[in-house]
Structure 1
């Protein structure tokens, strides 16, 4: 029997997450229906929303953060503030914690997930965000790089369009907000299925979540993920994997993965990520 890795973070109270986390695959609609951003805005309190925007992943944080601030202000948010943290030593400044005190929503923009983690991981402001999320005091959303950081194990980069192999994906440590998952973004749009499979082959106790552009995996406190948007969310579960050559082959050799469970989910579909099962909808296909 395969020995799967364990992580002490998974031993935390499984019911500690009381509110909503939106992992967005990137390139979400910012002009027309704005369905995903509107969902975040509504969950954060609508016209009573006080939104903190963290553009630390971006190399142009003021421009990136400013665009989202304009969007949320146009929607009618009570306030939308940019927390322009560009250096790790500045993340310890108490001013940022003060600005977070009244926030009802926190939004991580896209950019570079390595940059985001290098600036925010294990800092006072990140610990405050995590605490407020798990207490149910704020709604958290992250798009593109801001979604990639959600797991304990994080995809830092890699290739696409090739057979799964260990060298196809670069892994590092994320922010651990939802430690059970490994998130990849711009998923089918950039042909990243093999990349996520490669990551899951090395971390088989986690669930791979691949999110298309203009699509959101909305994690609820009851353990259910719901899909919002125009694309798909792919959930990869390797817990019942019966065979893999991963421990025996070189990093560049293709991987075999037998008895892998893969779900392709679309708008409105729900997946119980703690129990690793699809939540049936009212209309289901039963075959002939």
Structure 2
């Protein structure tokens, strides 16, 4: 099968995101209302949805894939394929490439280990096709927990919590570059990760920090807006107007000073424009 190179595909990606990309903080409701999963399903075509589930971040990808397959089958998806990628060469599967080229309307990245997910998918034509299709508006894309973290270019790979912000608190790596404008942290307030996200943003102040709680989603649509869905909050850390930090003057484990850091906390229905950096209150109240 003839395939475009990753580099050629990357040149096809337009800067703005044109469709629904759902970044989920993990532990989304899979039993009752399933609001977030139902939103992804609807954005992917509802009863006409032809989905791909990528459970590769999980230590038990077979079980994880089957779990989400059952959920989306119950919702009424037209077709579901599990991309059970356990080695990099599995990304060359011609059936999966054909599915992405001709039929697939939505891809779901499950939770697990974001470094594992990156190591299996990064710089493969399969991942490039998913990235291009999502950013061009030809399919919906969702990632939960590790599948959310890997959306960034500068990815939070791990770290601690419960301390003052410091550079040793966060381990950074390269992500899949689906939403390069942001740095994502998940299970956010549930695991006390505000300092970790601030520490990450200190090294990359041009990026927007997104801290997403469990059973909560930041859904990106056209015009570079995100909308909050779910039971928790999305914390936004904006360092574009930061006037001072001591990061270059102190040791890696020393507390950081950051002046004029802007923080927004958004709940269900609130929106945020990542271009203008302006929050918009929910219209449903």
Which interval holds the TM-score relative to the shorter structure? over 0.9
User: Which residue number in structure 1 is paired with residue 216 of structure 2?
Assistant: 215
Other-structure match for 1:59? 59
TM-score for both structures, normalised by structure 1: 0.92
Partner-residue secondary structure (3-state), 2:254? coil
Question: Residue 30 in 1 paired to residue 30 in 2?
Answer: yes
Q: Which residue of 1 aligns with 2:6?
A: none
Unmatched runs of 5 consecutive residues or more in structure 1 = 1-8
- The Cα shift of 1:94 comes to 2.4
Map 1:87-98 → 2, pairs under 5 A = 87-98=87-98
Give the 3-state SS of the residue equivalent to 1:222 in structure 2: helix
Q: TM-score, normalised by structure 2?
A: 0.93
Match of 1:155 in 2: 156
Structure-2 residue corresponding to 1:133: 134
Partner of 2:189: 188
- Change over 3 Å in CA distance of 1:98–1:157 after alignment to 2: same
**Offset of residue 282 of structure 1:** 4.5
Distance 1:115 1:162 in 2: 27
Give the Cα–Cα distance (whole angstroms) in 1 for the partners of residues 111 and 15 of structure 2: 28
- Matched residue, 1:112: 113
> SS in structure 2 opposite 1:27?
coil
Could you say which residue in structure 2 is the equivalent of 1:277? 278
The answer for the alignment partner of 1:142 in structure 2 is 143
**Unaligned segments of structure 2, at least 5 residues:** 1-9
- Paired with 1:51 and 1:222, the residues of 2 have a C-alpha distance of 25
Distance 1:95 1:78 in 2: 17
Q: Distance in 2 between matches of 1:199 and 1:55?
A: 26
Deviates more, 1:32-41 or 1:274-283: 274-283
Aligned to 1:257: 258
- Report 1:172-251 matches (<5 A): 172-251=173-252
3-state SS of paired residue (2:176): coil
Contact 2:269/2:283, CA 8 A, preserved across alignment? no
Number of the residue aligned with 1:6? none
Find the aligned partners of 2:134 and 2:282 in 1 and give their Cα distance. Answer: 28
CA contact (8 A) 2:268 2:282 kept: no
Distance in 2, Cα, partners of 1:187 & 1:283 = 25
Residue 59 of structure 1, CA deviation: 1.1
Could you tell which deviates more after superposition, 91-100 or 180-189?
A: 91-100
Secondary structure at the aligned position of 1:69 is classed as helix
Instruction: Indicate the residue corresponding to 1:5 in structure 2.
Output: none
Q: Is the 8 A contact 2:14 2:135 kept in 1?
A: no
RMSD between superposed Cα atoms in Å: 1.4
Residues 242, 143 of structure 1: alpha-carbon distance in 2 compared, 3 angstrom cutoff: same
Structure 2 Cα separation of the partners of residues 271 and 19 of structure 1: 16
| Distance in 2 between residues matched to 1:134 and 1:49, nearest whole Å | 18
Count of residues paired in the alignment: 273
Distance 1:13 1:82, change over 3 A: closer
Verify the 8 A CA contact 2:269 2:281 in the aligned structure 1.
no
Specify whether residues 268 and 281 from structure 1 end up closer, same or farther in structure 2 by C-alpha distance, changes over 3 A only: closer
**Displacement after TM superposition at 1:99 (Å):** 2.6
Deviation of residue 91 (structure 1)? 1.4
